[in-house]
Amino acid sequence: MPCKVEILSVGNELLFGNTVNTNASWIAAHVTSLGAAVSRITTVPDNLKEISHAIRESLRRKPDFLITTGGIGPTFDDMTLKAVARALKVPLRVDKSALAMVQEHYARRFPNRKITLTRPRLKMARIPARAKPVRNPVGTAPAVRVTVKETQVFCLPGVPKEAKAIFRESASKAILAKTGGMIFAEKWLRIRGIMESSLAPIIDRIMAKWPKVYIKSHPRGVEGGGRPFIELHFSISSSDPKRAEKILLDATRDLADRLKNSGANIGPVR
C-alpha cells in the first residue's frame, strides 16, 4: 500500500479567492516526489467547528500523514491548534520547548530589545497535550507534530516560506522514512492533431498493458488549423529508479507507435 497523505488548508482568504493556495500545490508536488500519494486536499475557513470536523474526518480515513497549513499564529483567527486539541479531546497547554522557540526567535530578531511575552505571543507556544513543537527556521510560530494511532499530523504555518522550510526540515524526512526509498518518476508526451476522445481508448490499452503506469491527459486547447493539442503525463512509483525509467520510456514509445498511422504529430518524450 502506498503511503497516503492528506493536506488540510485553513484560511478564509483561500475561500474568498483572495489568495491562491500555493502551499497545497507545493506540498503535494513534494509529497509525490518522495514516493507518497496525496489522497485528498481540503480547504476550510477560519472556523473552529469546521477545522476540528475536517481533522476528525481525516483521522477516520487513517492516512499515514495529515499536513495542515495555516492558523497557528498569534491572531484571533488562528485556531488550528485549538481545533486539533478539540478533535483529539485533549487540552491546550503552554509547552516549555515551544515557548523557548518563540523566545529564541524574538531574541535573535531583536537582539537589543526586551520583548514582552504578551498573550498573542504566548498563544504561539500553546499546543495540544501529547503534541511536540517543531522548529520554525524562518518564522516565529513553531509547527506542531502529533501522532494519532496510524496517522502523523503536522501543523505548519500558512506563510509559504515558513511552511516550505519546516516541510523540508521535518515533515519530508518523516514521509521519506515511511515510503522506504520509493521514488516517483514521470514523463510528458505532447501530441497534436488528435482529439482526446480518439486518444482515450488507446490510453486505456496502454494502461492495461503497463498496469504500474498512470496516464493523465491534459487538453491544451486548439492550435492553428483546428488541430487539438494534448499533453500526456506518464507516472510511476517504484523502489527501483532505473526500472521505473525503463518502464516509462517503453510505455511512452508504445503509445507513440500506436499513433503512427493516426495523422497525429508526436513530440519528443520529456
**Amino acid at residue number 62:** K
Domain co-membership, 203 together with 87: no
Name the grid cell of 155: 501543523
Q: What is the pLDDT of residues 82-110, one digit of tens each?
A: 999 999 999 999 999 999 999 999 998 88
Quote the pLDDT of residue 68: 98
- Which range marks the domain in which residue 155 is found? 4-179
- DSSP E strand boundaries for the chain: 4-10, 37-44, 65-69, 92-94, 126-128, 132-134, 143-148, 151-156, 183-192, 214-223, 227-238, 265-266
3 neighbors 36 (Cβ within 8 angstroms): yes
Domain co-membership, 66 together with 193: no
> What's the distance, Cα to Cα, between the start and end of the chain in Å?
28
The enclosing domain of 165 has a CATH number of 3.40.980.10
Q: How big is the CA angle at 236 (ends 189 and 57), to the nearest 5 degrees? A: 115
**Rounded to two decimals, what is the model's pTM?**
0.87
Domain co-membership, 152 together with 252: no
Q: What is the pLDDT of residues 200-232, one digit of tens each?
A: 999 999 999 999 999 999 999 887 777 899 999
Chain centroid to Cα 196, Å, comes to 29
Domain co-membership, 139 together with 158: yes
φ, ψ for residue 189, nearest 5 deg: -135, 125
Domain co-membership, 56 together with 143: yes
Q: Which of 179, 214, 235 is the last residue of a domain?
A: 179
